[in-house]
Amino acid sequence: MQPSMFNLRVPLPERNEVFLMNTMTDAQLVVSMDVAALLDRVAATEGRADLDQFEANELDAIEQLGDNGFLVPNREAERRDLDKYFARVTSDASELNITLLTTLQCNFACDYCYQGDRGGHDTLAEKMTLDTAVRVAEWIEREIDRVRPEHFTLMFFGGEPLLNLPVMYYLAERLWRAAEARGVPMSLTIITNGLLLTPEVVDRLEPYGLSGIKITLDGDRETHNRMRPLRGGQGTFDRIVENIRRVAGRVRIAIGGNFDESSVDSYPALLDFLSAQEFADKLVKVNFKPVIRAQAPAPRGVLPLLPVGADGKPLGGTCMTGAGTRQLGGSACDSCGFGEDQMSFLREETKRHGFPTPDGVHNGPCHVHMAHAHTIGPDGSLYACPGFTGDLGLSTGHVDDRDDLVREQMRGKFDRLSPWKECGDCAFIPVCAGGCSVASHTQLADMNLPTCHKRSLESAVISLAHDAASAA
């Protein structure tokens, strides 16, 4: 018997207690110092703890710690459990999760986006045709029949997905009927810049399982208008907020935001603004993540920034999905580019303003590790996650099920992806899985190496501990 390698401990000196969390079982306990000391005594025996050496009341505590995964038989058994855990995550068939990029076109010219400065990206980038949408629907129907999931989740993404409403409407309606006919509940979400969001769009999709819409606001009015202008340079903040106001009572809304050094200070003002709106209580999630333009030198295996392309700009579309969770505005991709300290600051500010926000600990494993999560590009190509979209060399298949050795080999490569194997005995492995594979591929040229944000995870767990203690 010995303490689990996945134990985390946060002292709460003001209460004379300790917060314990086990990232494998997700058990969270606020315990007395005595219990923490008991764990230390077990650790000191280096796996040779004999139950006879403990008092009766200590045996009760030991039993409770064992039941919650804080004590394990030995390290080898725990490593085997970790392998089984990842095998379960990878093969989990309870959900079929499809992220569908209706177009790579965008009507914004965001300074930090890879599409921002490409002339003609508003009109020349790929857009899914209705012919392709038919083949996409057929492939998804085959997948529902093959996987037989308990739930089917469809997310529309882009580019700006609302620039291709005919494809959205067609796929939502057809797949809703297909899922219904098979007795599989379906939910539908959209990630949009919000400019073209209208009550009509919401009403049109609501009968087909529309459960939430995530909209991006990059700071207060002035900052957002600088960060996310139209291609002609006009600001977009007022119109987006008005659109949110018009739909907030009809659908769940999550707010996301991308901050950099020049905009992070404007986020408290954005939070003040949002909390003063009549739709504030309709916002189901508020979550901000960093974009940083310049690549800082980083030691091998450590990436402090968002995944970026060779031109130093972030890979468009990464880090915005609800990967790893069915909840709107989910966790993993929203935190795979940490600006460590700012991220913690904004998380606390968001909570202080009364908005729900991810805890920053439960970030993964993300969709890239799941066999039944796929991203579909506008041409019908399949990818392991949105961050790889558009690079055909990283495509894992195609909806027409064509024979393609390169894509098959790439599927195999993603199936074997396991960067956490380089992470030693890190306690965060079950909730981190070695970080973002897009970042590893872009920055380290090897998606099987971890990109580490342990400091951010540590600060998030401290915050989680204090929340747990105050709720206890």
Under the rule (CB under 6 A), what is the footprint of ligand SF4?
Answer: 318-319, 323, 332-333, 336, 366-368, 385, 387, 420, 423, 426, 428-429, 432, 434-438, 450, 452, 454, 457
Q: Which tokens is 285 given?
A: 């999630």
For residues 108 and 420, which CB has a smaller minimum distance to ligand SF4 in the complex? 420
Minimum distance between the CB of residue 167 and ligand SF4, rounded to whole angstroms? 23
Instruction: Give the span between the Cα atoms of 386 and 45, in whole angstroms.
Output: 47
DSSP state of 280: G
Q: How far is the CB of 8 from ligand SF4 (least distance, A)?
A: 11
**CB count, 10 Å around CB of 112?**
21
* 220 within 8 A of 266, measured Cβ to Cβ: yes
Q: How far is the CB of 436 from ligand SF4 (least distance, A)?
A: 3
Query: Closest by alpha carbon to 285, among 363, 374, 210, 212?
Result: 212
Q: Do the beta carbons of residue 292 and residue 306 sit within 8 Å?
A: yes
Q: Which is nearer to ligand SF4, 342 or 437 (CB)?
A: 437
In angstroms, the Cα distances linking 261 to 103, 291, 292, 339 are 30, 9, 7, 9
Taking residue 460's Cβ as centre, other Cβ atoms within 10 Å add up to 25
Chain centroid to CA 355: 18
Residue placing its CB nearer to ligand SF4 in the complex, 366 or 410: 366
CA pair distance 53, 317, nearest whole angstrom: 56
**Considering beta carbons, is residue 86 or 108 the nearer one to ligand SF4?**
86
Q: Number of C-alpha atoms within 13 angstroms, CB side, residue 128?
A: 34
CB 69 within 8 A of CB 6: yes
Helix, strand, coil in percent for the chain, rounding step 5: 40, 15, 40
125 and 104 in contact (C-beta within 8 Å)?
Answer: yes
* Distance of closest approach, residue 319 Cβ to ligand SF4, in angstroms: 5
Q: Closer to ligand SF4 at the Cβ: 202 or 438? A: 438
Query: Of 266 and 335, which has the nearer Cβ to ligand SF4?
Result: 335
In whole angstroms, the minimum distance from the beta carbon of 120 to ligand SF4 comes to 26
Give the nearest distance from C-beta 332 to ligand SF4 in angstroms. 5
Region label for 434, one of left (φ > 0), alpha (ψ between -120 and 50) or beta (otherwise):
left
Minimal distance, residue 290 CB to ligand SF4, in Å:
14
CB of 428 to ligand SF4, least distance (A): 4
The token pair that represents 350 in the structure block: 């968001």
Smallest gap from residue 182 Cβ to ligand SF4 (A): 27
Q: From the CB of 453, what's the least distance to ligand SF4, in Å?
A: 6
* Tokens describing residue 342: 């700012």
Smaller CB separation from ligand SF4, 174 or 407: 407
Spatial strand order of the sheet with 7-12 comes to: 7-12, 17-22, 28-32
Distance CA 171, CA 167 (A): 6
Q: Closest CB to ligand SF4 among 49 and 427?
A: 427
Closest among 173, 197, 198 to 186, alpha carbons compared: 173
Q: Which is nearer to ligand SF4, 38 or 394 (CB)?
A: 394
The token duo for 295 is: 């690549």
Rank residues 232 and 393 by Cβ distance to ligand SF4 and give the closer one.
393
At closest approach, how far in Å is the CB of 25 from ligand SF4?
17
Of the two residues 398 and 453, which places its CB atom closer to ligand SF4 in the complex? 453
At closest approach, how far in Å is the CB of 92 from ligand SF4?
15
The closest alpha carbon to 224, from 112, 348, 338, belongs to: 112
- Count of other CB atoms within 10 angstroms of residue 13: 8
Distances (CA, A) of 305 to 242, 261, 262, 439: 32, 12, 15, 9
Q: Which CB sits closer to ligand SF4, 236 or 375?
A: 375
- Alpha carbon 281 to its chain centroid, in Å, reads 23
Which amino acid does the sequence have at 85? Y
